[in-house]
């Protein structure tokens, strides 16, 4: 199968270039997402940087959004647009999950700042994180988002309209370490998310977001667009975090499915808000960006939930495009030459070290000969599910990660 299919699929392969990606699509999408099957491999980050530079410079994309904390990402955006802070500072404080330590991310931020130098605001490329303030060990306190939203409203609307005072908000929030208790991820009883204070805060957060919406005509005339965008971001983040903490405290079987679904919902809402401002390039794990349900095992049980990409696609339709990435080897992680009957094996047999594949034509060429699903020897790498091939707008293949 591998030899015959390699001959059949050679004409589905193109150079990894912005123009070639867009030729696979019926029109330029408002949100173009590039996925990766694992995090932190510099070869994939270098490819992303090269492709995103072309899409910014040649195709007019004006926002680059990464799978990192949406609030911390504001520091990076301030740096690339105005030069605020140093590169070292924003790499340390502007990324979650340890992503700031990767050379490819540092080079992306450095290039964005250099690109924007001397350009008017309308021609600058913006940075955004679209993940929630979440880590594997738990979720952040809602304090930064909730107080920033409150302060924005307090500065521009009548005090009588506010649902509480700042002191009340501070008292209900309490010490931040109550919210960030690492043990809460494995022991719901250690979570503050369903305490009386947290329940009251969820109601107040909803009231503050409602006030933001009902005062929109006034705020349009009283505040600049960037302030209004950030206020909505604070509202989404505050309500999202409070919901996440609520379900962290839940002891039912629905706990883990709800938590992973809530995370992707936060991602999707942030991506949709960015797309309202203009064309967006997004980069994240394939599992967050695919149109199909995501799956994983957590706590010894299988989980399924609708990915951020599926949620965005439900809203944007053809204005959302997803290009996945597949890998041949990650030898330093024990991921060796792929079996020839897998998608990765078929592409590994081609002469190109990296290529862009017309996924629809590849699926058509394979017909009913569905490749096997590659088994990963390392938990940090998720091979491409062959069942998802026909749902891709494109597929980038990289022979070797190192």
DSSP β-ladder status, 354-357 and 63-69: unpaired
DSSP β-ladder status, 138-139 and 280-285: unpaired
Rounded Cα distance between 393 and 31, Å, is 12
Rounded Cα distance between 150 and 165, Å, is 9
pLDDT at 9: 82
391 versus 9: the higher-pLDDT residue is 391
For residues 352-357, average pLDDT: 96
For the chain, helix, strand, coil in percent to 5 are 55, 15, 30
pLDDT digits (tens, 9 = 90+) for 217-261: 999 999 999 999 999 999 999 999 999 999 999 999 999 999 999
3-state DSSP assignment of residue 341: coil
Quote the DSSP letter at residue 356.
E
**b/e map 296-324, b = 16+ CB within 10 Å:** eeeeeeebebbbbbbbbbeebeebbbbbb
Kindly report the length of the chain. Answer: 402
User: Which ranges in 83-195 belong to alpha helices (H)?
Assistant: 87-93, 103-116, 143-154, 166-173
Instruction: Name the residue among 388, 278, 360 with its Cα closest to residue 31.
Output: 278
Quote the DSSP letter at residue 317.
G
Rounded Cα distance between 258 and 250, Å, is 10
Instruction: Name the residue among 89, 92, 95 with its Cα closest to residue 128.
Output: 95
The residues pairing with 1 across neighbouring beta strands, listed in sequence order, are none
pLDDT digits (tens, 9 = 90+) for 28-79: 999 999 999 999 999 999 999 999 999 999 999 999 999 999 999 999 999 9
pLDDT at 8: 65
Rounded Cα distance between 82 and 112, Å, is 11
CB 37 within 8 A of CB 383: yes
Instruction: Name the residue among 14, 17, 271 with its Cα closest to residue 131.
Output: 271
Residue 79 φ/ψ, nearest 5 degrees: -70, -50
Predicted confidence (pLDDT) at residue 125 exceeds the cutoff of 50: yes
Rounded Cα distance between 102 and 33, Å, is 20
pLDDT at 11: 81
Instruction: Name the residue among 89, 70, 68, 69 with its Cα closest to residue 79.
Output: 89
CB 249 within 8 A of CB 199: no
pLDDT digits (tens, 9 = 90+) for 127-161: 999 999 999 889 999 999 999 999 999 999 999 99
CB 32 within 8 A of CB 396: no
How many of the other CB atoms lie within 10 Å of CB of 106?
18
**b/e map 149-162, b = 16+ CB within 10 Å:** bbebbbebbeeeeb
Give me Rg for the CA atoms of the chain: 22
CB 303 within 8 A of CB 256: yes
pLDDT digits (tens, 9 = 90+) for 287-299: 999 999 999 887 7
CB 355 within 8 A of CB 397: yes
Which residues, in sequence order, are CB contacts of 159 under 8 Å at separation 6+? Answer: none
End-to-end CA distance of the chain: 28
């Amino acid at each position: 199968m591998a030899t015959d299919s390699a001959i059949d699929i050679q004409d589905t392969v193109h150079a990894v270039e912005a123009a070639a990606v867009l030729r696979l699509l019926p029109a330029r999408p408002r949100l173009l997402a590039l996925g990766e099957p694992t995090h932190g491999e510099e070869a994939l980050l270098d490819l992303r940087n090269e492709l995103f530079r072309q899409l910014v410079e040649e195709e007019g994309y004006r926002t680059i959004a990464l799978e990192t904390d949406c609030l911390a990402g504001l520091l990076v955006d301030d740096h690339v647009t105005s030069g605020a802070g140093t590169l070292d500072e924003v790499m340390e404080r502007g990324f979650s999950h340890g992503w700031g330590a990767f050379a490819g991310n540092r080079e992306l931020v450095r290039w964005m700042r250099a690109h924007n130098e001397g350009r008017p605001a309308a021609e600058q490329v913006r940075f955004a994180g679209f993940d929630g303030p979440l880590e594997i060990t738990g979720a952040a306190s809602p304090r930064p988002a909730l107080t920033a939203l409150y302060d924005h409203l307090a500065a521009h609307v009548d005090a009588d309209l506010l649902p509480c005072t700042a002191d009340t908000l501070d008292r209900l929030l309490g010490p931040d370490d109550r919210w960030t208790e690492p043990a809460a991820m494995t022991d719901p009883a250690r979570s503050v998310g369903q305490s009386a204070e947290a329940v009251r805060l969820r109601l107040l957060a909803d009231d503050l977001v409602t006030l933001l919406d009902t005062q929109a005509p006034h705020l349009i005339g009283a505040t600049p667009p960037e302030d209004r965008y950030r206020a909505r971001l604070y509202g989404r983040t505050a309500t999202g975090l409070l919901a996440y903490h609520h379900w962290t405290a839940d002891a039912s079987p629905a706990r883990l499915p709800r938590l992973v679904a809530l995370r992707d919902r936060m991602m999707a809402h942030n991506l949709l808000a960015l797309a309202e401002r203009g064309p967006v390039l997004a980069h994240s794990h394939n599992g967050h960006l695919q149109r199909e349900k995501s799956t994983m095992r957590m706590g010894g049980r299988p989980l399924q939930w609708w990915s951020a990409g599926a949620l965005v696609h439900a809203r944007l339709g053809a204005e959302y495009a997803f290009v996945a990435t597949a890998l041949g080897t990650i030898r330093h992680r024990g991921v060796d030459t792929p079996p020839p009957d897998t998608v990765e094996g078929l592409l590994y047999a081609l002469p190109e070290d990296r290529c862009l594949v017309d996924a629809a034509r590849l699926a058509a060429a394979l017909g009913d000969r569905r490749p096997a699903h590659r088994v990963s020897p390392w938990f940090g790498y998720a091979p491409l599910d062959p069942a998802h091939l026909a749902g891709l707008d494109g597929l980038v293949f990289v022979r070797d990660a190192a």
